[in-house]
Structure formats: C-alpha cells, structure tokens
Chain A
Amino acid sequence: MLSDAGGGLSQGGGQGLGDAPLTIGGVLKEIQGLKDKFKSEDGEDEASPYHALEKATVLQECRAFNDSNVVTNNPKRCCQLITKLLHLLTQGETFTSSEVTDVFFGVTKLFQSKDHNLRRMMYLFIKEVAEATNPNDVIIVTSSLTKDMNSSEDLYRANSIRVLARIIDSAMLGAIERYVKQAINDKNAIVASSALVSGISLFNTSPDVVKRWNNEVQEALSSPNEMVQFHALALLYQAKQQDLLAVTKLVTQLTKGNTRSPLADLNAANARAAYQFLESSLRHKNEIVVYEAARAICHLPGVEMNDLSPAITVLQLFLSSPKPTLRFGAMRTLSDVAGTHPMAIVKCNEEMETLISDANRSIATLAITTLLKTGTEGSVDRLMKQISTFMNEIADEFKIIVVHAIRQLCLRYPQKHRVLVGFLATFLREEGGFDFKKAITDCIVELMSAIPDTKETSLFHLCDFIEDCEYTALSTQILHLVGALGPSTSAPARYIRFIYNRVILENAAVRAAAVSSLAKFAAKVPSLRPSITVLLKRSLADEDDEVRDRATVAIKLLASMPAAGDGEADAGGDENHQSEPVEEDALDGDAETSEAAHLMLDGLPMSFASLERAVGLYALSMQSGTAQAQPLLFSTLPVVEEHVPAPLTKGTSAASKPLAGAGGGFGGGDSRVAPTAASAPATADPTAELYKIPELAALGRVFRSTAPVPLTESETEYVVRCVKHIFDAHVVLDFSVHNTIADQMLTEASSEPELYSVVGSIPLPTLKYDQTGHCYVVLSRATEVAIEPVTFTCELHFKVVDCDPQSGEADEDAEGFPEEYPLEEVELSTSDFMAKVNVGDFRRSWEQMGPEGEVLEKFALQFRRLDEAVAGVLDFLGMQPCDGTAAIKPTGTSAGLPPPHTLHLSGVFVGSKPVLVRAQLAITQSNDTIGCVLKIAVRSDDPDVSRMVADCIR
C-alpha cells in the first residue's frame, strides 16, 4: 500500500529528472504513447495494437529475447514484447508455470541490454511476475540485480533495489543489506526513495534488519528532497509504531527540525506531546499541513476545549475556502467534533449555514447535521426550512444521517417536538428506500417513548404513513404499535379506520397484524367492542389461514369478554381502561377467559427463549417423577431468569481471564492445563444435572439457581465454584471441583460447610485430572423463619491418590492420604432467593398489588454517583429492572446535582411470591460529602417478604 503510494510519488518527483523509476503509471503512459503512435501510423485500423493478442504468438515472439542481435540492436521491439506480455497478464490471461518460466528466463537475458527503456520494462516485468514464478527461479536474478545496484546508472540502482526488495527472502537480505543502507543516503533522490520504499516493504518480512537502518533513515529525514523525507518518515514511523515514546521523540525532533514535507505530520496524532508541534503546524504555509494538523488536534484523545479552539478557528477559515476538498475536510472534522464538543463549534455556525447551499451535496449534508448538533433552539425552525428544500436532492444514506441528527435535536429540545416530528412525517410520505423509512419510523417511535407529548400526533403520522407503505415489515411494526398505544389515546376510535383499511387492502402478513391490532382495541375499549367484532367477522372469510385464525380467536375471546367487562362498559371512561380487571390471578375461577384475554393483550409474559427453557426445566422435573404433577401454567413454570447482557465488570473479568490463563500456562509448564478451559465453556445447565440425582430431585423443584461463584483463585490446584440452588424448603450448595493436577486423583471429595442445618451431602467418588465433578450439600431452611443473609466457611475434604499421569489410573498400592483444602466463604444472601423476572406492565402490577404488603424504607448509601448507586441497588436486591429504568437518562446540565432517579424492579421471591420495588435514588450533598439517599417501597402479597427484601439493602 505504502510502497504503491511511494511509487506514485516517486514518479511525480522523478519526471523532472528524466529517468523515472518504474511504476505502473509510467508504463501505462508508455502504452498510451505507443497506442497513439500506432493509431497515427495506420489510420484505418483503429483497434488497439494489443487487441486480440494471441498468447501463443506472443510467447513465440518472445523467443527473440534469446537472440542477442535483437536484444542489442532492437530494444524497441523487446520493449513492445514485454508490453504485450504485461498486457496479457493484466487482461487476466493465465500462463502455465512452464510458460512463465520460459518467458521469465527469456526476460532475464535482457540484462545484457544497455537500453534504458528496455531495462525499465524488464525490471517492471520481473516485479510483476515475481509472485507467479517459482521462487527458486526468481532468485536467479539476485546477483544480476545486486550488480545493478552497484552500477553507476541511477536508474538501474533505483529500480534494482525496488525489484530486489520484492523478490528477496530474509536469508539473502543480509547479503544486500549493506547496499540498501548505502542507497538510503544516496545523493540521487530517486535511489534514496527507492531504498526507503523497499525498506517499508521489507519491514513486513524482516523488521529486525530494517530497524538496524535507523541511523541512515534519520539522516534521510533531513534530506532536501521532500519525497525522500516523506518516505524516510513513513519508514521510521513503521519501525517505531509499537513504541509510543519513540514516536513522541520523533515528533519532538521534527518540531525542532521543521520538516518541509507537507505529509510529514500524518502520524503525529499519537501523543499528547505532539500538540505543540501541531499547533505550530497550524501556522504553516501549506494548507494541507494545516488541515492535517487541525484534524489531528481534533482527534487527539481527551482533547480539551481550550486546545481545540485554534484548530477550530483554522477549520472555520477553510469552510469558506474556494476548494471543495478543503471545505469537505473541514466540514467533516467539525461534524466529528460536534459529537463531543458541540459548544466549540458554535462560532462556525454562520459559515456552516452558508454551506447548506453548497453545490457539493456531501458538504451540505455534513453542514446540516453539524448545525443540527450545535444549533440553538431558536434556529431550529429556520434550519428545518432549509433542510426540507434540499432533502429531495440527497441520497438515502445522507437522509438517514439527517434523520438521526433531528432525533438528537428533538431529544435536546423537547418543546420543539411538534415541528420536528411533523418534519419527520413529511419525509415519511416522500420517496425513499426501506432503510430510510425504517430510520424515520424508529426515530418517531423512540421519540414517542422519550417525549410522551408526541404520542398522539406521531401515531397519526404513522397511520398516515401505512396508508401507502410498501414495506410489510414496517407496516406490521406500526400496526402492532398502534394496537398497543392506540387504545389509551384520547380518541381510540379514530385509529380503527386506518387499521381496517389495512385489512382490506394489504397482503396477508399486514392483514394478520391489522386483525390482532383491531382485537386489542376491542379488548381494551369496551365501547368499540361491538363494532370491531363486526369488522373482525368479515376477516373470517379471508383467504389466508393466519388472518382467519387470528380473527376467529379474537372474536371468540371478545364474545366471552362482555361478561367480565360489563361493569366497566358503562363507565367506559377512557381514563379507566388501565385498571380494567383483565389481569386477574391466573388460577382464579374464570381463569381461562382472563388468561386468554391477557394473552391477547400482552403477549407472552416472558420471551420465547425463556419460555423454552422454562418448559424444558418443567419437563425435567416431571421426568424425575418425584415432583408432584402440576398443571402446566405460566405461574407454575419454573422461574427462568432473563438473560441480561453481561455488565461491564463481568466483561472485563472475562477478558482478563484468558490472559491470566495464558500466563499460567507459560509459567507452570505443560503439566497444568490453564483453568480457563474449565471456566470458558458455558456451563451446561446445572439444574439439569441436579434432577439426575434422585436424592436431590426428591426435594422438589428448583426455584432458582444462582450464577456460579468462584471459591478459589482461578489458577489453583483445585478450582472450586459454587452454585446455589434454591428449593422451596432447602438450599443445595453445588460445588463443582476441577482438578488441575496431572498426577493426582481425588477420591471421596466432599465439601463441608460449617452450618447448623446440614441435612445431607453427596460426595464425589473420584475426580481425575482435568475433570470437573460436582459434590452437593443440602441445607434445610425453616420456611417460617425470615431469611437472613448467612455466610458459611467451607472446606474441601478429599483423599489424594497418586496416579500415573499418562493413563490416569491410580497406582495399585496407593492408599492415598486425606487432605483438606480451604475454600472461600459461601455467602447466602437474601437476593439469592430472588429470581429476576420481568413483569409486562410494572405500573399496572404495582397498582394491583396494593399497599397492603408494602414496606417503606429510607437509606443513606455510600455511592457518589447515580449510576453506581443504581448498579449497587440492583446488586443488593437481585431483581429485574423494568421499564428501562436501569439506564439513567443523560442530563443536559453537567453542573449541579443530577435529578433523582426512579428505579422499577420486579422479581419473584422463593415460594413463587412476586415482589415489586420502586426505588428513588437521589444524590445529596452536605458538608462536602456526597452521598446517596435511597427511598424504597417494596410491595408483595406478604409483608414479611417485603420486609426481607427491604432489608437486603446494606
């Protein structure tokens, strides 16, 4: 890559000197020249002389290379032949290996020629076919090239160095190293450049050798020729890439030396120390240098506002430059900066506004988006007008960028939502691809959840949109959304028309979605129920199965509803719909109806993945036969926790583990297997293991299994991890032991917690090397006593038996000796008894639970930041955050204390008792100590449980 760029550059520099080194560009030019000549010679034959070349003919002609008379007296002809060959090669003609060899050796005979052009072509040819030819053959030109490298002709020297670098292997490099080193400081710029570029390409194969050239390259850096300087710097940079300090030094040195190459600062962005240099570069004559410097400053990690301002000033000037490239570059950099430091750019706003009407659409788009990021509330209207004029002229990708920018703006200035959402809606009706439309829809939906005021207008916009939406996926998504949100708007009846139109006009998938959406309206708004039922009945004759099925189910459910909903039908108040008693306890008398209605409204109470796991566990517990048969209901399904993406801390520890494991592997020799192997594979569901053991299965169904807790360091002799399985009345501690010692076998391993109510334990009979086994300890729990956090000290008891490391068999006469291995403490906290389960609608469930079993508490916590506090509370309680309340909304003002944050949590306590928690966290400040005040309200059916949960906070 670099070498190619170098080639191009060197050609540019070489032209003045008359003997440009060989480059593809040069050859193309030559071919062009030849072509022109041919054209003028025989005018009637317009075709290219290289048109329809026969490979065989050319190869035949190439025999001429063997004739020394031709070579010496007719170099033109040879040149032409090579051009033909190269033409064939670039046209994708394949040569068999024998043909390549033949031609290659023919070409090598051209070394006898003294014609400069022919030599250049020959070098080029060798370079081009070097890869295709047998490496053993290519090496044959080494000596010849070495000789050329020492010749008095600069052309030969430059080119032979380049070719040599291409073909040489590291073993041969030693022999020529000296010459290349000399060449680096050659008087002739082309030779020096060639040597440097060769160095760059050689760096990939033998960096050590190239690094030894350091002194020479440093010297080349002060060469009067810019091209040499650039190449020298590129090589130096490559050599020192790994060493940040060296780069810094290099940059400092450059600052003093004031290099003249405009490209010399390309890599300066690496170190903070570069800033001074960059700033001085800002005052450079050459505008590219200035731009590069400004860009580098803007991209410096952790750059400060003050540091940015000179760069921004420069970029501001560029914005009004007559050169589009500069304008574009400056604009792009500014738009990057706008993401992090919008305030820094405000002063450029005026220039950017003029750029909106720039002829170059890319510049205009960038300007718009940047303006949207930096714009003040007052300028929004004006901007919107400008955007709408040019939106039609730009490509979809740019439109998407604009849409995202608008979304951000809207989040920042919620008051402006009417203008902005209206604006988005107009886009929605205009032409555009799927991605664009999807971006807008997503954007509107997001705004709806972020700014409740927009809900009704946005819904109408979306309904308008699906009137003629050609994308099924978007239509169904919107229909679902309308079904979910529509009934709670002020006038739900208005949406029915939109939805029913879909039933009439659209394809099957959309029709089905529309039918479900209608059904939701009917279920939630009793006043509309009769009319919707009529509409749904028409779908009973639909040609698509799915549509018919959905309609039938909906009608059936709706028919059964009025009984339950009669009372409310009169009240019919739209405000009342939320408290409608559709969600009764599933086990109640008329469970079937309400359960079904509930299903229709809310979908499944859990994700499909967790449902699958839950049913799987249910089946397992049934299979073990000891658990009493229970009907398969959602409420009786084993509790399955939502898979939350691993929090940051977990991620880092996982990342550090392999490193530690690798280190151990090196240090400890090969007798030990890095323990990561044990921890890496996803543990097969430990619960499933549990059900296989009859004694444990007899305890009933596992309520919850905690994540494994390591009880030893990850690199010890025996790696032990503990999983706590919570049963209704028991707790099983599942110790998984991994033996990492090759010549030992553990027998009768068991782990003994010192605990008051050990009911029984199941030891591990034997554990061979690199195996993992489980031993269990069963604890009984008095259900009537409140759960309190307890810690157990544990020890691993086992007998060590020497065994043959190869076979893994124990020595026959080995008795083994008992051994104890201390483990870290196992902590059984209240949160272990809590399963993270999401509830569909927190607010409604909260209302439903009622204040009977509520416990209110207030705590002062030691957190200094809100996000830490949220994470901490989640950790204490072990509950599932609802309604996205785990994420703290970013606040506009960084100064002052953040507003209090409300956290909604749900979970199921052991004994299948649902628990809901509302917590308000606020950062307070008194006498310079920042603390966190937590107000928590816990609701459950059982006040004792609520109390226990509240006590989890420590």
Chain B
Amino acid sequence: MGLFKKLATALGLSKYEARIVVVGLDNSGKTTLINNIKPKKASTFEVTPTVGFQVESFAKDNLNFTIFDMSGQSRYRELWGHYYREVQAIIFVLDCTERVRMCVAKEELDELLTHPDVSNSCTPILIFANKMDLPGALSAVDCMEQLDLQRISNKPWQIEASNALTGEGIDRGLEWLAEKLRGRK
C-alpha cells in the first residue's frame, strides 16, 4: 500500500483538496523537493530559482494536491504571508549545510509563526532538514535546537532529514502530515 493511498484513506475522502504552501530560504531545495513529490511525467527537469511563486497542481492517487512553491529569495519572502490563509499545511525547507544562515531561517520561521493566519490556527508545520546527504550537514536534532522548535506548543510540528534529489525522508514527512490532517478532521 503506497503512501498516498494511505493518506487518502486516512482522510476518508476520495478527492480531497490538499492546499500546501512550501516556504524556506533561497537555494534550500523547495522546487526540487516538489518535483520529487510530483508524478514523474509532470516534473520539470531543470530547476531555476523561482521568481515569485509557482503553483503545482497534480493528482496523485485519490488526492488533489495544490502546492504553492514560494520563492525563497529575500525580496520575495515578505510575500509569503499572503499565501498562509486557508492552507492545510505548511512545509518549511531548511538547507542544513548552511550553518551561518540558520539564524536567518530562524527569523523567517518566527515571522511565519507570528503571522496572524498561522499563529491562531493549528496548521501543521512540517520542517525538512534538506541536503542531509552533503558532508557537514547538521543533523535534524541540531537543526531543531538551532531553530528552537521546542517552543512551538499550539500546533503540531515535525522535523525530518531529507534528500530532495533522491526523495529520501520525504515520504516519512508526508506520512506524518497525513496523520495530522486526519487528526484535524
């Protein structure tokens, strides 16, 4: 039984609309990650820095995914806020090889958490500690400490180490997400 099948059954809907917004610093691997989730034929092979955002809609098994792939470049980060409303989940992608920019990531995460559309809802937040395959990458636990994730108390969150190129770790994260969504139902 595949993951998405599980997810679909978990939600008890044959055609459930899952609207997810993906954020994270630039060059953390958001678009690549989404390419990996997408069915292979819909994926684009060449990934360039996203300008603004891209919408990916695809059906996988019995699920209609609508993923807002936001640009991570600093000049577009303030625009994320416009897309938090009425999303079922937020995915935050971290580049765990970039130790120096962890603090920037933390700032952005704080911003996200204090956003009115997010702070009062219990939208689940999934954090991918991406690029775990590269040497010198921080572990998921290190990341958690760096970002001070423990303080998040009013909503479910999870951190997963992942490799967006191979898809390693992504399934585990989505499995958790499916569970949470079912819980909210």
- Please list the residues of chain A having a beta carbon within 8 angstroms of any beta carbon in chain B: 66-69, 72, 101-102, 105, 108-109, 111-112, 114, 136-137, 139-144, 146-147, 172, 175
Contact = CB atoms under 8 A, between A and B. Distances in A.
Contacts of A114: 57
B85 A66 contact: yes
Nearest to A73: B17
Contacts of A137: 79
Nearest to B69: A143
16 contacts: A66-B85, A67-B86, A101-B82, A105-B79, A105-B82, A109-B55, A111-B55, A112-B66, A114-B57, A139-B51, A140-B51, A140-B76, A142-B51, A143-B51, A144-B54, A175-B48
A313 to B, nearest CB: 59
Contact of B86 (A66, A112, A142, A144): A66
B81 to A, nearest CB: 9
A136 B54 CA distance: 16
A139 B68 CA distance: 15
B50 interface: yes
Nearest to A140: B52
B45 to A, nearest CB: 12
Interface residues of B, number: 21
A68 B17 contact: yes
Contact of B54 (A66, A68, A69, A143): A143
Contact of B71 (A109, A111, A112, A143): A143
B51 to A, nearest CB: 4
B19 A68 contact: yes
Contacts of B62: none
Given A66-B86, A105-B82, A109-B83, A136 B75 contact: yes
A112 B48 CA distance: 20
A914 B101 CA distance: 95
B176 interface: no
A647 to B, nearest CB: 61
B79 A144 contact: no
Closest 8 CB pairs of A and B: A140-B52, A105-B82, A142-B51, A111-B55, A143-B51, A66-B86, A68-B19, A112-B66
Residue from B17, B55, B85 having most chain A Cβ neighbours under 10 A: B55
A490 to B, nearest CB: 90
Given A140-B76, A140-B79, A143-B50, A68 B55 contact: no
Contacts of A140: 51-53, 71, 76, 79
B83 A142 contact: no
A146 B68 CA distance: 15
Interface of B: 17, 19, 48, 50-55, 57, 64, 66, 68, 71, 75-76, 79, 82-83, 85-86
A105 B55 CA distance: 13
Contacts of B75: 136
Contacts of B52: 139-144
Nearest to A176: B51
Residue from A66, A137, A172 having most chain B Cβ neighbours under 10 A: A66
Given A140-B52, A142-B51, A72 B76 contact: no
Contacts of A108: 53, 82
B48 to A, nearest CB: 8
Nearest to B19: A68
A43 B34 CA distance: 51
A103 to B, nearest CB: 11
Contacts of B17: 68-69, 72
A147 B35 CA distance: 14
Contacts of A143: 50-54, 71
A114 B55 CA distance: 11
A60 B118 CA distance: 20
Contacts of B85: 66
Given A143-B53, A144-B55, 5 more contacts: A112-B66, A137-B79, A139-B52, A141-B52, A143-B51
Contact of B51 (A66, A67, A72, A172): A172
Contacts of A139: 51-52, 76
A109 B53 CA distance: 10
A308 B86 CA distance: 72
A68 B86 contact: yes
Nearest to B117: A66
A68 B66 contact: yes
Contacts of A72: 17, 64
Contacts of A175: 48, 51
A140 B17 CA distance: 24
A111 B75 CA distance: 21
Contacts of A112: 19, 55, 57, 66
A101 B76 CA distance: 14
